[in-house]
Structure formats: C-alpha cells, structure tokens
Structure 1
Amino acid sequence: MKKIMFYCQYLSGMGHLVRSSEIVQSLAKYFQVYFIVGGPQIPGFELPTQVEVIRLPALWLEEGKFTVGSSPFTVEEVKAARKNILIAECDRIQPDCLITEFFPFGRHKLLFELIPLVEHIKKISPKTKIVSSLRDVIGKESDPEEEETICNLMNRYFDLLLFHADSRFQTFSDSFARHQEILAEVIHTGFVTQLPKFTSTPFEKLWSEVSLDTVKIVASIGGGRIGYEVLEALIKSSAILSRKLPHVMKIFTGSFMPVEKVKQLKKLAGDRDNIQIETYTPQLLEYMQTADISVSLGGYNTTMNILSTGVRAIIVPIGHEHVDKEQLHRTQKLEQLGIVNSIHPQDLSPLVLSEKIGDCLSKKTSNNSRIFDLQGADNTANFLKMFLNSQTAALSLV
C-alpha cells in the first residue's frame, strides 16, 4: 500500500481542517495515510480514525502574527521544532506522495518549514510525488510578486494540482490569472463535501420539542474568529421575527470565538428559551438537513453543506480582515444561480436580516445545486490511485 503524507495547517479558522479531513478519509481507502496537523486542537472535532495523525506543536495567527498560545516555548522555538519534526517524519515514513493543503497558493508564512521539507524530499527521494490541494477560490487578490512566487514554487517542486471545485462553477483559470504558466497537471476534482445521511439523532434531540409551525433557524460562522456581528444581528432580529413568525434559533459560535464574545451573545439572548447558543457541534450537517433556513458566512465548507442539504440559506460574506474576497466571490456566484440569498456585510442589521428570512421562507428551494459534482473527496482518492500507480508503472519500464 502506497504511503501519503498530507500536510494541513489552519491558521485562523477551521475550514482547511474540515475539508482536509474529508479528503484524508477517502484517501485511506487506498493508501496508508499520515495526516499532519499544525493548528490548535478543536474540542469536539474528531480527526479521521483510520489514519495516523501527526500533531505538530500548534501555531496559528492572531492579528496577523504567529502565536503559540499558552505554550512554554517561544514562537521561534516552535518553528524550529516543527521544521525538524517534519523532516524526521518524512525520513520515518518515506512517503510515495506528499500533499500540501493550500500551499503554495497561500501559507507563505510557513516557508520556514515547507521549503526545507520539499527540498529534503527532492534530495533523498526524487521519485516522491508532491501535490498541491487547493479550494475553489484562492482568496485575496495576489500582487505580481506573490503570483511570481506561486509560479516558481509550483514549477520547481510540484507534480500535480488538485483543484477542489466543479469546473461548471469555477475553474482554476478563473482563480489564478497566471494559470498558463503552471507546468503541473491540473485536475478539477469536484467539490469536497460531507454528503448528507439519514440522521441517526432523533429530531426532538436536535431541536427539543418544536411544534410543526415553528420555524427552525440554524446559524454558524465556522471557527468563530470572524462573524460575531452576524450572530449579534440574528439574535436581535428574533424580537422582530416573533411578532409574526414563531421560531427557534440554534446558534453555533465556533470554537475560536473569544469567551468574552460568547458571553456577550448569551447576555444578548437573555432568557429567551427559543435561542440556544453552543460553541461547536459535530452534527451541523444534521441541523442543516432539518432546518427551515440557515444563516452563515460563506466559507467553503458551509456552502458545501448548503449544496449537499439543499437548505434555504442566507449568507453574509465576511472575509478575514475584510480584505479576503473569497467568500464574496463564491456567494455572488451561488446567488446568481438562485442557490443562496445574501446580505452584504455593510447592509447587515436586525431589520434587514429579519426581512430576508421572511422572504427566503416564502420562496421554493432551488434545485440548481444538484448540477454540481459533490464527490470531490472520493474523486481525489480515485484519481491519485490511478496517478501514483501509473507513475510506478512508468518507472518500472525505465
């Protein structure tokens, strides 16, 4: 069985980890997988059990700067340790393939460990394939210098690019202006999505005792570092909605929302028993399957959940530091297809949100999401199986 090292670093949210976990689970059907995780642990989030998880000393960003939280070591000490661990693990595993999630299209702050790693692989095992795993929209607009760096890194180290989108929605050429300069093969895998299943959790346990005429609203903002204002507006909108629309709100703040902000939201909700606030749930997909409407940001994994469940959805596309256009770009395309509704962050208010909820509930859900390939994780595994086997066969003929 061939061996794959899959490197995933989430610096501010948890979207990269969620998507990577789905891919890794599919890869484990055919490969021996080593899942390298570089961010902080997330209470309640279960990593795939059928792979070997390698946890690097946690490193993440706060206000644009690296932090190690309460670790007794400095940032520089952690960086040095991580670099050494990666090389040591590479020597131990001797992988047939290294997959770097989002790098080199992002994660340039991690060049201190990624360049030594790929250089080491090229030196001791030139037959090892190096692959980039990339979401549908890169994010902030690259400047010419950054684009040059991406092209140089791709062409120097990488054999393949896995682009996790349906080409009918977004192509790699749509995402990267200098796509023609990339020498590696580019594969559009389809969207990496958690596919809905018949819920094993009783409806009553998800939503307590909710009458048939009560509207069920689920709200989530990913990791929780951004999006507080969406949940604040939603809680305030409850008073407006209550005048004409019996409802219950299930709100998930995200594991990375500061404790003080969670307290503020709970204080705002007061003693309203129709507003339930929790930090994290592994059952978000089940809530979205059974909800009447979803209110969220427009990150990759949340929008994939919207596509797979078909839930009515309102998205407020807020980018990190309000300069990342990833969510805005994705949301606008989905809204044009009639799949979601959106509110621009500048227009967000309790009144606007309450009116948008009413409008959405009066419309039929769209079937347009069914045109997309949502089997991106399995497609990735199947393609890599063929790709790595073909490379082995080609080498045996040399």
Structure 2
Amino acid sequence: MGRSFTEDRHQAEILSWLRQWGATAEPLHLGDDLIDVARVSLDHDLFVLKSRSDLAMSVAADLHGAGARLLNPYPVSALLRDRVVTFRVLRAAGVPVPETFAASHVSQLLPALDRGPLIIKPYRRYKKHGTEVVTNAAELAALGSIEPVFAQRYHPPDGPDRTVYSIGSELFGVLHAGPDASFALSPELVDIARRCGTALGIDLFGVNVVMSGGRAYVVDMSSFPGFRGVPEAARRVAKYVHAAAERAVCGEPVVPAELQRTAGRAATHRALKGSSLQLVLGALSGTEATPQELAQIESVVDDIRLRSTAATSPPRVRPGRPRRDSRPTQPPAPPRVAMYSQGMVGFGHIRRNASIAHALRGSALQPAIMMIAEAWQAGALLLPEGVDCVTLPALRREADGAYNPRFLLDVSDQDLIALRTRVVRSAIEVFDPDVLVVDYLPLGVAGELATTLERLRARGTTRCVLGLREVLYDTETVRRTWADRANMDAIRDFYDAVWIYGDPAVFDPVREYGLGDDVAAKARYTGYLDQRPRLDLAAAHADPLVTSLPPGEIALCLVGGGHDGEALAEAFLQTELPRDMTGVLVTGPLMPWEQRQRVRDGAQQRPRFRVLDFVAEPIKLIERADRVIAMGGYNTCCEILSFDKHALIVPRVAPEPEQWIRAQRLRDLGLVDVLHPDELDARALTEWLARDPGPPPAVRDRIDLGGLSRIPTLLTELLGAAARPVSLAV
C-alpha cells in the first residue's frame, strides 16, 4: 500500500495493523537503503511521508511531481519545513502565535530584543543547531554566525510543554513532563488546533503549545509527529492511513473531502504542481531567485492564500517601486491618501470616508485621494475634485454573518473575495499612498486587506490608520467578535494610529470596551464630523429638490439605508401633521421594492407627504427641516447634530444595539429625544410633532464636533512622522 519514510516510533506496530487489515505495507528507510532514483515507481496507492530530511523531501518531491499520492500532501509538508512561512500561515488563520522575526544576521534582532527576551530557532526545521533563549545583546552575539535567523518573542511557560495531536477528527492533549500524561483540552485549545489544521488543509498533525500568563501560544506545528503519549497511537494512526489509502484507491483526495472543501485545498494542490512548485520550493530553500521567478512564486503563493477560506501564506514581497521624488526646481508632489470602506450593508462607511475626503481636499494639504469601495455605493455619492474611486464587486452580509455576492450570484463567495483582494492589492501597489485609512475592519472583509497590510509594513513607506465610529456594538459582542486576537494583532502590527470619530465624553470605546494598551496608545479622538462644510458640494444636487418643497415647516423622516426601515416609514406616513407642516420621507436605497411600493401607495392617500427614494446628500434637506425623525446611524446623528435640529431618534435595537447605545447617550446630554422601536406607532410620532420643541439644542456647548477640522492636522502629523523600522512580523 505504501512506503513509510518514518522513524522507528510505532513503525512496526503500524505496519502490523495495516497488514492485518489486508494492506501491503512496505517500509523504506532512507539512509539505510540504496535508492535508484531513476527506478522509483508509482506502484503503491499511497506513500506515507514521515521523515523531513533533505533526502526524504527530495524523494517525496520526485514522487509528487510524478503524480503519486502522499500523506500528508507534499506541498503542505514542504511548507511546514519553513518556519517563516508556517507562522505567517497560522497567524493569518487567527492562530495565536508569538511575535515572530526573520533576519539575515543576529545583530538585526537587537531592536526586537530591546522589547524583551527572544527564542532563536532554526530557520528550517531539522537543522542541527537547537533553540536558544537570549535576554541581552551579549547572549545574542554569542550565537555567532547563523544565517538566516528565525526568532520569536519568548513567553516563559506556566508549566510543562504541551502538544495537541490531531488524528482525523480526534484531538489529544499530552503534557511532556517526565512521563507523558494526557490532559483535557479546553475549548480554546480545541479551537486553536482546528484552526491550525484548517489553515493547512490537513487533519493529521501535531501542534506544540506554550501557556504563558494564562494565554496560549502555538510555537510549532508538524504534519506527521511521533504522537508521544497518545493512547493506542499506532492503531489510531494505522486506521487513519488505511482510510487515506482507501480514498486514494477510489480517486478521492487523500485528505478527507470535507476538510478539502473547508480550506479550499484542492485548488491549492493543483496550483502547486509542475514548474511553479519547483519555484516555490526553490524560494523556500533559500536559493537565489530571478525577478521573473519571484513573480511566479508570488502568483502561486497568492493562490494558496486567496482561494482558502482559512487564510494561508502571504506572498513574498518584491521591492516596492522608488518613491516619488520631487526635483529641486519643482514644488513637492501632494501626498497621496487611499481610503478603504468594505461596503456590504448600507452607506455609512463610505459616506464617512467621503466626508473625510472632502475635508482633506479643502485643507492646505490637498492630497490626491483614492477611495476603495463597492461599485454600487461609490457611484451613488458625490465626490469632490481630486478624489476618485477604485470599485470592488459587491458582497452582502447575511443574518448569520456569512458573506455572499450581492449581484454576481453565479460566483462563489471565495472567488469574489479573492477578486476583491487582488483589486485592493493592485490598486494600493500602483497608487503607492503615503497614508492608507481603513474604516472599521482592521483586516477588511474576510481578511481581504491582510496581504496588502503586510506588504505596506514590510516596505515601510505608507502610514496606516484605522478609522472607527465611536460605538461599535455592545460591550460583550465587541469583546467576543470585533476585538478578537486577529484584529488586535493587526492593530498592533500594521497600524500607526486609530482615529475615533467621536467625543469620549459621549462614548469612550477604548475604556468601555477594554480594547487594551495597544489601541489606547494609538487612539486619537477626532470629535464628531460636522457636516456643514459639505453644503457647497451638495448644493448643485439638492437645491432643486429643496426649492421644490412647499413653504412652511418640514418634518423629515430618515430610515437610513432602508433595509429595516419599513415600520418607521409606515408609522410616519400615518402621523397627523401639525397645521402648515409637510412630511418628507426618504426611504433609502436598500428598502426592498415591495416595501417601497407599499410606502408609495400609502403616501398617495396623504397629500401633505412626499416620498423620496434616495438622496445622495441629505444635508440640504436636514438644513431645511424643522423637525427630524430618524433612525440612529452614526452619519445621520452627525448630520442632525451639525444643524442643531430638534430630533426624535427611533434606533435599531437588534441584532446590533449600536444605534440604541448612541441614542441613549445623546439623549442623556439633552441633544435628542429617543423612542424605543417597541413603542413606535403613529400616535407617538403625532404627539412628538405636536409638542413645543423649545429652543434648539446647544450641541456645540456639550460635545465636540471638530472632527473634520482636526483630521487634516492628524494627517499632517502622520506624514511628518519618521517611518517605523521594518521587521518581518509574521
């Protein structure tokens, strides 16, 4: 059935089990037996790759190139030999790993050593020198000449070494302290092990874990370990190997098909065959590569990462093109700013970025600005001169959190995300921004920014900013989802600043969510975004609309994007308006057609009401309105506050209570009135409109609205800051 490139542990017993089950099992001891390379044949259904010596890997490469079925698959085994690539893959998959560095000489690790002890390991597995913990420059120098150097942040273990072994669907925890002993796996360790396997597309592996300060760190992974301490290890491994051979005989993937589908590995293995495979292996072995080879390597490794739902190894970075140099006789070129918004739901993220772009263009900096956004959103907004947009195919986020194409329904979500990732990366590479501003998601949708951020950090010439609205979700949800380890690591490693578009006197996300020291050190509170400067931009589009309204008071109803605004829209249209007041309803672009039609039909029976489907710049309407009834999205609240309007907020409370939290805080400051959606009906709106509102709220006396005037200053500070030293953090 197969040849076992294996050490002696369990070998005889594994072979015995396989033979009992009717398989023909032959061991091959590399180093003991003479190998006639020209006569290695494919006369077995499965070849089991256990040893990772150079000789074993060479024979395995030959077999793989000839079409043999190997366990574990040869590309995965080759990748796992290289610690730099391995830890990039694991980290991209959300696996907790220590801070990791690679250098050509030990002296280059001195800046990292200043921040704490390091553990130095062989760059490639199965090299002769072992691991060393170094705490100072003298200990580092004593290591002598090691090229290249692989190092990780040293985390003192809380107890004995731990290994989590995976054999198919079974997981086993083993403590290595004297006699090996089993231990019960926590849900966290189970999740970590599953992430490791999914990232590589295998379920036969071992993961070494260090517990330090109550946190788990994966410090090594092997594709076919010795399974020390696993009960009945030989029988379990033999059973797994036998099942893999049966799949091979049937023409199925050696790794279970469901795992292949989960990780998208079938395409990965196809991409690694042929000449491209040899190029990748050459790069991993440290051989010199030509620029043409590097381009091919980059393409192959990109395919590994982009076609896998569990992100894998980012591509090797080619040197960036020279920075734009100004001739002494010419004025310096204006800075370049790229702004990313992920889309998916409503217009909130892109409208916020558009407001910031308008403010930056009106400042002394006058940067060239490239926005990156979904096409259907970008085409609906007004952009000032000097701002253009690279568009992405649109995604839709489902109620369960899954992503699906919004329009390209015959394209898989994986392929669409892969396409978006390539568009973003190419746009950033060509535009070469001085600053990248990312709205809300540190790694973008489904990690689509990860490769781009790693390249920018490696190149060291682009400053990266994460922009956040003040309220994200409720505290529990933020800590469980948004503030997960992958996002926090991304903020720490890739971002130079975190701009919070709010006033901490209203809501302080760093404190209330407990976002930690890394975010706190980079946080800059801009204040809310005063929308009045956008009046000139909106005038040409909105003036005819505003002048068409009848004289007298205006009650304006805004339902955000409209996808969940029908209840508020219908209640508003049934409201009894005060004398000489006209009601204007903006349904939003995402209100389903059937709902929009019902709303329009209802408005036909109420001559004092107007219904508008979508207004690209509603601020002229808000300026004109006397009373505003609205949902509680960030941009809508900024617009209401900017014009000191009397407003009744009917916020969304589920599934995300962001609007409810914001509305309550603004109500407590006396700036808006709030109606819980459970209490929403026409009578409640009628009573609010009939009430004497009193003087306008004193907004600027109570909160900071200086965001759009402060952001150009923050950008200037970033542009003047010295570039961070570049380290390979993986």
Bigger radius of gyration among the two: 2
Find out whether 1:210 has 2:557 as its counterpart.
no
Instruction: Show the counterpart of 2:468.
Output: 134
Q: 1:302-313 counterparts in 2 under 5 A? A: 302-313=636-647
> What is the TM-score with the length of structure 2 in the denominator?
0.49
Instruction: Show the counterpart of 2:447.
Output: 112
Instruction: Show the counterpart of 1:248.
Output: 582
Q: Give secondary structure in 1 for the equivalent of 2:583.
A: strand
Q: Give secondary structure in 2 for the equivalent of 1:276.
A: strand
Instruction: Show the counterpart of 1:343.
Output: 675
CA displacement at 1:146 relative to structure 2:
4.6
Contact 2:396/2:404 (<8 A) preserved: yes
CA displacement at 1:8 relative to structure 2:
1.0
Amino acid corresponding to residue 602 of structure 2 in structure 1 = L
Amino acid corresponding to residue 447 of structure 2 in structure 1 = F
Instruction: Show the counterpart of 1:80.
Output: 418
Q: 1:209 to 1:221 in 2, by over 3 A?
A: closer
CA displacement at 1:92 relative to structure 2:
1.1
Q: 1:260 to 1:337 in 2, by over 3 A?
A: same
Amino acid corresponding to residue 405 of structure 2 in structure 1 = V
Instruction: Show the counterpart of 2:346.
Output: 13
CA displacement at 1:55 relative to structure 2:
0.8
User: Which string of whole-angstrom CA distances, capped at 9 and with x for unpartnered residues, describes residues 23-57 of structure 1?
Assistant: 12223342222211136336642234312311122
Q: 1:121-200 counterparts in 2 under 5 A? A: 121-123=456-458, 125-140=459-474, 141-144=477-480, 146-149=482-485, 150-182=487-519, 184-195=521-532, 197=535
Instruction: Show the counterpart of 1:68.
Output: 405
Distance 1:203 1:7 in 2: 30
Question: Which of 603, 620, 623 matches 1:286?
Answer: 620
Q: Give secondary structure in 2 for the equivalent of 1:20.
A: helix
Contact 1:87/1:120 (<8 A) preserved: no
Q: Give secondary structure in 2 for the equivalent of 1:277.
A: strand
Instruction: Show the counterpart of 1:390.
Output: 721
Distance 1:285 1:262 in 2: 22
CA displacement at 1:68 relative to structure 2:
2.5
CA displacement at 1:357 relative to structure 2:
1.9
Instruction: Show the counterpart of 1:94.
Output: 432
CA displacement at 1:341 relative to structure 2:
0.7
Contact 1:227/1:318 (<8 A) preserved: no
Instruction: Show the counterpart of 2:136.
Output: none
Q: Give the gaps of 5 or more residues in structure 2.
A: 1-333, 726-730
Q: Give secondary structure in 2 for the equivalent of 1:55.
A: strand
Instruction: Show the counterpart of 1:32.
Output: 368
Contact 1:158/1:184 (<8 A) preserved: no
> What is the TM-score with the length of structure 1 in the denominator?
0.87
CA displacement at 1:136 relative to structure 2:
1.1
Distance 1:148 1:205 in 2: 45
Distance 1:67 1:18 in 2: 23
Amino acid corresponding to residue 365 of structure 1 in structure 2 = P
User: Which string of whole-angstrom CA distances, capped at 9 and with x for unpartnered residues, describes residues 173-218 of structure 1?
Assistant: 3442233343642111111231165895898952646354xx3111
Question: Which of 634, 657, 664 matches 1:332?
Answer: 664
Report the RMSD for the aligned CA atoms in angstroms. Answer: 2.6
Task: Name the stretch that deviates more: 294-303 or 133-142.
Answer: 133-142
Q: 1:173 to 1:362 in 2, by over 3 A?
A: same
Instruction: Show the counterpart of 1:373.
Output: 704
Q: 1:208-287 counterparts in 2 under 5 A? A: 208=548, 210-212=550-552, 215-237=553-575, 241-242=576-577, 245-287=579-621
Q: Give secondary structure in 2 for the equivalent of 1:22.
A: helix
Amino acid corresponding to residue 694 of structure 2 in structure 1 = K
CA displacement at 1:234 relative to structure 2:
0.7
Task: Name the stretch that deviates more: 277-286 or 289-298.
Answer: 277-286
Distance 2:510 2:630 in 1: 28
What is the count of residue pairs matched by the alignment?
381
Instruction: Show the counterpart of 1:353.
Output: 685
Distance 2:517 2:380 in 1: 42
Q: 1:234 to 1:183 in 2, by over 3 A?
A: closer
Distance 1:171 1:362 in 2: 29
Instruction: Show the counterpart of 1:299.
Output: 633
Contact 1:12/1:62 (<8 A) preserved: no
Distance 2:384 2:544 in 1: 28
Q: Give secondary structure in 2 for the equivalent of 1:40.
A: helix
Distance 1:12 1:180 in 2: 31
Contact 1:224/1:253 (<8 A) preserved: yes
Contact 1:255/1:279 (<8 A) preserved: yes
Question: Which of 694, 697, 701 matches 1:363?
Answer: 694
Question: Which of 22, 25, 33 matches 2:355?
Answer: 22
CA displacement at 1:10 relative to structure 2:
2.0
Instruction: Show the counterpart of 2:244.
Output: none
Q: 1:280 to 1:303 in 2, by over 3 A?
A: same
Contact 1:204/1:210 (<8 A) preserved: no
Q: Give secondary structure in 2 for the equivalent of 1:90.
A: helix
Distance 1:85 1:205 in 2: 37
Contact 1:25/1:50 (<8 A) preserved: no
Distance 1:85 1:65 in 2: 21
Displaced runs of 4 or more, over 4 A = 196-205
Q: 1:161 to 1:53 in 2, by over 3 A?
A: same
Contact 1:217/1:248 (<8 A) preserved: yes
Q: 1:44 to 1:204 in 2, by over 3 A?
A: closer
Contact 2:588/2:613 (<8 A) preserved: yes
